[in-house]
Amino acid sequence: MAVAEVQRNLPPEARHLKLNGHVGFDSLPDQLVNRSVSQGFCFNILCLGETGIGKSTLMDTLFNTHFDSTPSKHDLPGVKLKSNTYELKESNVRLKLTNVDTVGFGDQINKEDTFKPIVDYINSQFEAYLQEELKIKRSLHSYHDTRIHACLYFIAPTGHSLKALDLVTMKKLDSKVNIIPIIAKADTITKSELQKFKAKLMSELMSNGVQIYQFPTDDETVAELNSSMNAHLPFAVVGSTDEVKVGNKMVKARQYPWGTVQVENENHCDFVKLREMLIRTNMQDMVEQTHSRHYELFRRCRLEQMGFTDSESRSLKETYELKRSEHVATLQKKEEEMRQMFVVRVKEKESELKESEKELHAKFDSLKKQHADEKKKLEEKKKAMDDEYNLFQKRKAATIASQQAAQQAAQAATLSGKGKKK
């Protein structure tokens, strides 16, 4: 019987067998946990917001440490992305955290292309991972994955609405990264204003079609928690690494003349909610969403650009050969165009040289004629001067002869006068 006939005769569902004893594959989850813990985890965060809005302070507060950061100026000509990778360890779990900061975001007068460096950076990380996947000898198990898993978008606490820059930037990024909008420095507006501001922000995001990251509700263990947290978006947070004594304990807080804002007090801000959702509950889901959704979309578009399709009638080898033949044909076409262009340019150069040669000959003939005319004029001048010189010599000789005759006549007269006196 053929293989296809056997497969058609199989039942649509797998058979369920009852084991007579313990086999041991129920330890697979433990094996996965042990292997993951030994390898360590990777998480990359993009902090996106205007200069001075508190990105570095919030990151220090989230991970309870001090990351390397230097204050940036407001006069940068463009947006620059600064990436720093840190090795963190909590209990026996190691985390390779990459913090990407947007330096100079929103500081330019012309904000038309502000989002482009950010989009280019995210695409470049996707491209680097894709190139590693396409290698013959891959090492994805040891590859440092730099794809952005979460984007904390810091919104200024204006209390009015989103800026045009915020809407445009989030719209450009929502298909490339998991966006979590947060209201920074939430202690600068009142609670009533904050609730209205949150509702207005979510309304504007929905009306403009911006897809922000929604905490997953398909897992029963966290479905209720994530559902309630989705209703709190965007989170209004306050960051601080300063320790302030409140009662009998030291807490992270911001001290003001009118009172103290406790960072980890849920009545004061949503910092605890953000930390719970970002780090403790949904970090792995963001990593999976980045790989299965955002990176997969980028990968599909890039492979389509390379000429690969999902057509079942054409194998990978046929697609490669077709793309190779198209590439060779394109190269030959370009080569022929360059050859024709070279011939045309050579002919143009030859015509230019011929014209230059004609001009040089004409100029030479003109100079030769001019030289002949000048030579003729000089010869005529020389002849005239010779005639004038000969005439001058004749006049000079006649003058000398007349002078000598006059002297002789004078001498003769003198001698005759002396003879008479005697």
Lowest mean pLDDT among 82-86, 333-337, 340-344, 413-417: 413-417
Give CA–CA dist 44/150, Å, rounded.
7
Closest to 238 measured CA to CA, from 282, 281, 295, 188: 188
User: Given this model, what pLDDT does residue 12 score?
Assistant: 58
For the segment(s) 37-311, the CATH number from 3.40.50.300, 3.20.20.300, 3.30.1950.10, 2.120.10.70 is 3.40.50.300
User: Given this model, what pLDDT does residue 390 score?
Assistant: 92
Closest to 226 measured CA to CA, from 150, 297, 282, 154: 282
- The arithmetic mean of pLDDT across residues 30-40, rounded, is 86
Lowest mean pLDDT among 11-15, 52-56, 270-274: 11-15
| Residue 48 parent element (H or E) | strand 41-48
Q: Which residue carries 């007068």 as its tokens?
A: 109
Judge residue 183's burial from the number of C-beta atoms within 10 Å of its C-beta, 0-12 exposed, 13-18 middle, 19 or more buried.
buried
- The arithmetic mean of pLDDT across residues 66-73, rounded, is 79
Question: Using one digit for the tens of pLDDT, what is the confidence trace for 104-124?
Answer: 898 888 888 889 999 999 999
pTM: 0.72
**What percent of the chain lies above the pLDDT cut of 70?**
94
Rounded to 5 degrees, φ, ψ at 418 are -65, -35
User: Given this model, what pLDDT does residue 208 score?
Assistant: 93
Question: Using one digit for the tens of pLDDT, what is the confidence trace for 220-261?
Answer: 888 899 999 999 889 999 988 888 888 788 888 888 888 888
